[in-house]
Chain A
Amino acid sequence: MRRRKRIMEGLDQDIREHIAMETQDNIERGMPPEEARYAAMRKFGNVTRVKEEIREVWSFVWLEQLLQDVRFALRMLGKNPGFALTAVLILALGIAANVIVFGVLQALVLRQLDVPHADRVIGLPGTHII
């Protein structure tokens, strides 16, 4: 990710330098400066498209690096089974607690009653609808 950022940052300057060099060449060939610059820009083509294409070239690098990180993480967990077990247990507990709380809430609050036009059922004071 960092490498890609560095590459993209240098890019604008590279393109500017390229067009400046081409402009210089055109001037040496006898073009007036203004015209030389426009000719150089025409010859370079669409700067935005070029930058977009370069970004695409590097767009899968982050995925590769992510895979590297995942492999590293798995290796470290394998090396340290006590820590891995603790982490897994804590995650399991957390997920289980969530499932239970949501399960209860779903049954009590979120689920609509099993009657026609359940959305039109209302509760009256002093009665229990559940």
Chain B
Amino acid sequence: MSTKEQRERIELLQGTLDLLILRTLLRGPVHGHAIAKAIEFDSDDVLQVEQGSLYPALHRLIKRGWISAEEGTSENNRRAKFYRLTAKGRRQLTIETGKWDKLAGAIAQILRPAE
């Protein structure tokens, strides 16, 4: 990876990781590694998740009851914990997505006011 490429990658804003995890789990239960891959892949590798930081976020979401964890086997027969969106998490995703749209819209308006 060249330094130029590295500069084009963006660190995640505080709190947005939770939202991205919830969105990723909407497609069905997956394990932690797959979540990290999905976020990187879906953002065309722009968003760089420090993979370790995924786990505290997952535990926060479990504690709030937005996702649940269960044991399972991964595609290449490894033992892994699968994370699943709960009904509460699904509702939260809608709320959080709305909040994000508002925030992004407001910031865009300040940066590029309509002429």
On whether the beta carbons of B52 and A22 are closer than 8 Å, the reply is no
User: Could you say which residues of chain A place their CB within 8 Å of the CB of B90?
Assistant: none
User: Could you say which residues of chain A place their CB within 8 Å of the CB of B76?
Assistant: 21, 24
With A7-B59, A57-B59 as contacts: A20 and B52 at CB distance below 8 Å: no
On whether the beta carbons of B78 and A54 are closer than 8 Å, the reply is no
The docked-state distance in angstroms from the alpha carbon of A59 to that of B75 is: 33
**Once A and B bind, how many residue pairs between them come within 8 Å at the CB atom?**
60
On whether the beta carbons of A18 and B32 are closer than 8 Å, the reply is yes
Chain B binding site: helix, strand, loop or mixed by DSSP?
helix
Chain A binding site: helix, strand, loop or mixed by DSSP?
helix
Q: Could you show 22 A-B contacts with beta carbons less than 8 Å apart?
A: A7-B59, A10-B81, A11-B55, A14-B32, A15-B52, A17-B78, A17-B79, A17-B80, A18-B32, A18-B51, A20-B78, A21-B33, A21-B74, A43-B50, A45-B50, A45-B52, A50-B52, A53-B53, A54-B59, A57-B56, A57-B59, A58-B63
